[in-house]
Structure 1
Amino acid sequence: MQLIVEKNEAAISQVAADLLFGKMISKHRVNLAITAGATPQKTYELLVEKVKQKSYLKHVHYYNFDEMPFLNQEAHDGVTMTCLKNLYFTPAGIPAQQIHPLTASNYQTHDARLLADGGLEAIFIGIGADGHFCGNLPQTTHFQDETVAVDVTSRPDMADILKNEMVKAGVSEDLACDYYVTMGPKSVMAAQQVILMAIGEAKAKIIKQALFGEVRQAVPASILQLHPNLLVLLDEAAAREIMS
């Protein structure tokens, strides 16, 4: 594990943007899976300025690693892709042929598609306060899972989480499905590099528990300790528990 700590969100976001852009400068195809949500917002603002109108980056291909589809809206983007388009793809002018959505319709062939495309150069993820990464929440997936659909009908708490994500994406919670799809731990661990970013004091405890504690199913992100090329990007607030 490599750990980089910067003073604040602005500084660590600059590191993340520079790092991702560095991955793109290559003579061969580059496959990146990137996160949506609040954590990478400043990173994408910086990255947009680096990549927009850069024709020499046409070899860079993007994948989402989870998706929450809208009820009866299979022809439309789900929550994750909607967020990624708003945060990054649209302002950066990324051509549609370089974006490869994971959806409820193709999740069963997602791992085979990634393998055929040459695998992921890197996957850029966040971490939840409960230790989840991607859609791998406690008691939803197992370490051996590849890309799967997660049924939340027996988990009222999970149904509420999905509805909250809909609301944050500006969509009516009435459109929330009773399932979502995600790359499982095994699929994530197959990436050449895992880049995990966390910002703020609210993430300090789980960073210590997940990355420096016991590897166990109850803390899904703890499996990332075993990745041979894990890079962790933190601001000082998120690093508080491990730096004291």
Structure 2
Amino acid sequence: MKIYEAHSMGEMSRKAANIISAQVILYPHSVLGLATGSSPIGTYEQLADWYKKGDLDFSEVTTVNLDEYRGLDGSSEQSYRYFMNQHLFSKVNIKLERTHIPNGMAEDVEAECRRYDELIASLGGIDLQLLGLGHNGHIGFNEPSGAFEKTTHCVDLGESTIQANSRFFERMEDVPRQAITMGIKSIMQAKKILLIVGGEDKKEILHRSLFGPVTPNVPASILQLHPNLTVVSCNAL
């Protein structure tokens, strides 16, 4: 485990972007696992800036996102497809057909989950997986539970997650209660994992995740077992 402590959110974003850009430069055909939420926005902005300066080429990169809300299509401003288009995909030269996000509108959710796992396998797995950390220790939308969910699945979101996500919606009742999320197995099979965590409000859960017992009650704690984990934090250690 490598841990970097940044002195500002901007420094955290640049460090994370440096790690991702090195992956893309050294391995142009990389499969990147991407995350949404507030934590990676600065990282995506930095990557887009370096692309505009001619330092990065995303034309051969493939991406698979961690999750999508159930019941939202890609045109919804709160969907994660929309988020990725706004913050990264529309700002670099990535081919949209190489960008993959679970279909939140799928009628057969179980079939969609199988399709997503098969897609990841067909790509040869994930080369570098970017993660944020929820206040309850979730990664992706793998919520605290009695067991680690291995494969892509539909999850009932915990109350703390719903509360945290409500800032993106006009009304609390508009916040989706379910999501389709990549499973722990697919995350842990990534060749490299990059975890970015910012803010003093994440100190306790980050410490439990990195140094506490490995337990599905803190889903991120399983990252302790990954052979190539890099953590970049700001005011969270």
Q: TM-score range by the shorter chain?
A: 0.7 to 0.9
Range 75-84 or range 93-102, more displaced: 75-84
* Percentage of identical aligned residues: 28
Q: Which amino acid aligns with 1:197?
A: I
Mapping for residues 1-244 of structure 1, pairs under 5 Å: 1-27=1-27, 29-52=29-52, 56-70=57-71, 74=73, 76=75, 79-104=79-104, 105=106, 106-139=112-145, 142-151=147-156, 157=159, 161=162, 165=165, 168=168, 170=169, 176-235=175-234, 237-239=235-237
Range 54-63 or range 212-221, more displaced: 54-63
How many aligned residue pairs are there? 229
- SS of aligned partner of 1:123: strand
Q: Which amino acid aligns with 1:150?
A: V
Shift of 1:65: 0.6
**1:66/1:102 contact within 8 Å kept:** yes
**2:136/2:205 contact within 8 Å kept:** yes
Structure 1 residues 173, 42: CA separation in 2 closer, same or farther (over 3 Å shift)? same
- SS of aligned partner of 2:186: helix
Shift of 1:80: 1.6
- SS of aligned partner of 2:63: strand
Q: Which amino acid aligns with 2:48?
A: V
Structure 1 residues 53, 101: CA separation in 2 closer, same or farther (over 3 Å shift)? farther
Shift of 1:189: 0.4
- SS of aligned partner of 1:59: coil
**1:68/1:177 contact within 8 Å kept:** yes
**2:148/2:184 contact within 8 Å kept:** yes
Structure 1 residues 34, 79: CA separation in 2 closer, same or farther (over 3 Å shift)? same
Shift of 1:215: 0.6
Shift of 1:107: 2.5
What's the CA shift string for 1:127-150, capped at 9, x where partnerless? 1121111101112x7324211111
Range 49-58 or range 78-87, more displaced: 49-58
Range 31-40 or range 90-99, more displaced: 90-99
- The runs of at least 4 consecutive aligned structure 1 residues that moved more than 6 Å come to none
Structure 2: gaps spanning 5 or more residues = 107-111
Using the size of structure 1 for normalisation, the TM-score is: 0.83
What's the CA shift string for 1:126-180, capped at 9, x where partnerless? 11121111101112x732421111145xx7x37x808x63650x56655554421
Structure 1 residues 81, 172: CA separation in 2 closer, same or farther (over 3 Å shift)? farther
Shift of 1:110: 1.1
Q: Which amino acid aligns with 1:116?
A: S
